[in-house]
Amino acid sequence: MTKRLSPLRRVVTGHNEQGQSIIIEDGAPPRVARVQARPGYAMANVWRTAACPSNVHDADSILEHKGVLPPKQGTVIRVIDIPPEPKDPEELEKVLHATFRELYPDADHTKDKAVHQGMHKTATVDYAIVLAGSITAIMDEDETVLNAGDILIQRGTNHAWSNRSEGMCRIAFVLVDGQFE
């Protein structure tokens, strides 16, 4: 059995009536989505902004968020726990299909023509920060192993994530709305 990662903690700051800075929320993200067909996989959308620049006083709207993409001209930060990838290609296809169908239907999931069944792309600039474990970032022509502390800047490229290790991997993703031209 793969060791579970510690629970996520989201701390949100704000201002009191006198304009002083305070902590207005300290606890788990409002919702953690799981995929029944992929034990151990968990995705928590942590915060989003509806536009850039954003109003620093905007209310928390993360529970309204659906799919992988940030709002137009906005951002979203999410944390994903990724279990080791199944070794069996049919099982891998099953869990990836379920993951994209249930959580990321708006991603361009191009598995039929890809080097990995999880290949997808979005019109976003993504900052992927590995918090725990290791993960292989797969591109059309290259791949690299990322470890805790590594940061990948993903610029609208076709890519996939493959946990080829024996342990869990946790990655924080900041997605910034973008365009291809």
From the centroid of its chain, how far is CA 116?
A: 18
Which tens digit of pLDDT belongs to each residue from 43-91? 999 999 999 999 999 999 999 999 999 999 999 999 999 999 999 999 9
The arithmetic mean of pLDDT across residues 89-117, rounded, is 87
| Domains of the chain from N-terminus onward | 29-177 (2.60.120.10)
Which tens digit of pLDDT belongs to each residue from 118-128? 999 999 999 99
Q: Which residues contact 163 (CB under 8 A, 6 or more apart)?
A: 82, 83, 84, 85, 133, 134, 135, 136, 169
- For the chain, the farthest-separated pair of C-alpha atoms sits apart, in whole angstroms, at 59
pLDDT grade, residue 3 (50/70/90)? confident
pLDDT grade, residue 181 (50/70/90)? confident
pLDDT grade, residue 2 (50/70/90)? low
The arithmetic mean of pLDDT across residues 152-160, rounded, is 96
What is the pLDDT of the chain when averaged over all its residues? 94
In total, the chain counts a number of residues equal to 181
Q: Is the pLDDT of residue 1 over 90?
A: no
Q: Is the pLDDT of residue 111 over 70?
A: no
